[in-house]
Amino acid sequence: MIYIVNTSFMVAPRIHDQWLASLRKDYISRLDAEEFGNITFTRVLTERPEGHFTYSLQVETQDLSGYQRIIQKLLPEYTDAAHKIYGEDLMYFTSLLKRIEL
- Output phi, psi for 22, to 5 deg: -70, -35
Quick one: pLDDT at residue 37?
87
Based on its alpha-carbon atoms, the radius of gyration of the chain, rounded to whole angstroms, reads 14
- For the chain, give every domain's residue range: 3-98
User: Domain 3-98, CATH 3.30.70.600 — does that match?
Assistant: yes
Q: Which residues of the chain have pLDDT under 70?
A: 48-49
Cβ contacts of residue 9 below 8 Å, gap of 6+?
19, 23, 54, 55, 56, 57, 90, 91, 92
Quick one: pLDDT at residue 46?
78
Give the span between the Cα atoms of 86 and 66, in whole angstroms: 27
Quick one: pLDDT at residue 49?
66
Quick one: pLDDT at residue 47?
73
